[in-house]
Amino acid sequence: MKSLRAVWNSLFDSFRDLLPIIVVIGFFQFAVLQQPIPNFGEIAIGILFVVIGLTLFVQGLNMGLFPIGESMAYAFASKGNIFWLLCFAFALGFGTTIAEPALIAVAEEAALVAATGGMIVDDPQARESYAEGLRYTVAFSVGIAIMIGVFRIVMGWPIQYLIVIGYTGVVVMTAFAPKEIIGIAYDSGGVTTSTITVPLVTALGVGLASSIKGRNPMIDGFGLIAFASLTPMIFVMGYGMLI
């Protein structure tokens, strides 16, 4: 009985998270566009799916993703081998980004822009190889980002210094990069971090900062995602300049 109530409560929480979207879309549909809702039944089932999905995700987060990220952080810290830790960080960043569906979509758009802008030959093959090169570039840059971020946690450097360097990199690259690529490069920073990567990487950072002596998990543990959304901008503009 008690667990049933817990399930009900978490379903209700998920519904509350979703409520703003329902209100916004409903308001614009009825009050602004003044149109009825098409396929009402389908939409109701879809909303039910979203609520169930969010509830299961939060459960799984606390049971699976957070504990594994933290236990690996502790294991690496107690082993004391920084080389393998950095390798793991790179692999995690690279491996989770290369298959990211949002990135695949953005890379295809970018190839289209490059072909229209005359940067590459406008045929399917050239576009495909451009898109693939871009995906590897972004995945590589996220790997580097997580690696630098983990190294920062180990060393205890203040994050803002590295961010200033990153921002300077973005500004300098903007001055030299082809105009067509800038919008995509800026957007690629945001799309790389997926829903599974974020909890894992966050748990890894916080776990490392709490198991290394002299680090504060709040000050030092966060920040890995910040690097992962900064380096792709620099690398994508670099890619645009080279190709």
Partner 1 sequence: MTHIFVDLIYAIMDTVWDVLPIAAIIFSFQLFILRKPIPNLKKILTGFLLVLLGLGFFLEGLQAALFPLGKLMAYQLTNPDFIAPDNGQRALQWWDYHWVYLFAFAIGFATTIAEPSLLAVAIKANQVSAGAIGIWGLRIAVAIGVAIGIALGVYRIITGTPLYWYIITGYVFVLVQTMFAPRMIIALAYDSGGVTTSTVTVPLVAALGLGLAGTVPGRNPLLDGFGLIAFASLFPIMSVLAYAQLSEWRNRRNQRSSTQ
DSSP output for 69-127: HHHHHHHHHHHT-HHHHHHHHHHHHHHHHHT-HHHHHHHHHHHHHHHHTTSS-SSHHHH
Residue 218 in the binding site for partner 1 (CB under 8 A): yes
Q: Minimum distance between the CB of residue 194 and partner 1, rounded to whole angstroms?
A: 7
Among 107, 135, 144, 193, binds partner 1 (CB under 8 A): 193
Q: Minimum distance between the CB of residue 229 and partner 1, rounded to whole angstroms?
A: 3
Residue 151 in the binding site for partner 1 (CB under 8 A): no
Contacts of 92 (CB under 8 A, 6+ apart): 143, 146, 197, 200, 201, 204
What part of residues 74-133 is at the interface with partner 1 (CB under 8 A)? 75-76, 79, 84, 87-88, 91-92, 95-96, 98-102, 109, 112-113, 116-117
Among 11, 151, 167, 243, binds partner 1 (CB under 8 A): 167
For the beta carbon of residue 159, count every other beta carbon within 10 angstroms.
17
Distance between CA atoms of residues 237 and 120, nearest Å? 15
Among 108, 169, 211, 217, binds partner 1 (CB under 8 A): 217
Pick between residue 189 and residue 238 the one whose CB is nearest to partner 1: 189
Q: CA 73, 103, 183: angle at the middle one, nearest 5?
A: 115
Residue 163 in the binding site for partner 1 (CB under 8 A): yes
Q: Minimum distance between the CB of residue 242 and partner 1, rounded to whole angstroms?
A: 20
Q: What Cα–Cα distance (Å) separates residue 140 from each residue in 11, 53, 90, 102, 192?
A: 38, 31, 8, 16, 11
Among 226, 220, 87, residue whose Cα is nearest residue 165: 226
Pick between residue 133 and residue 186 the one whose CB is nearest to partner 1: 186
Pick between residue 144 and residue 224 the one whose CB is nearest to partner 1: 224
Distance between CA atoms of residues 78 and 140, nearest Å? 28
Among 10, 11, 17, 126, binds partner 1 (CB under 8 A): 17
Q: Minimum distance between the CB of residue 167 and partner 1, rounded to whole angstroms?
A: 5
Residue 223 in the binding site for partner 1 (CB under 8 A): yes
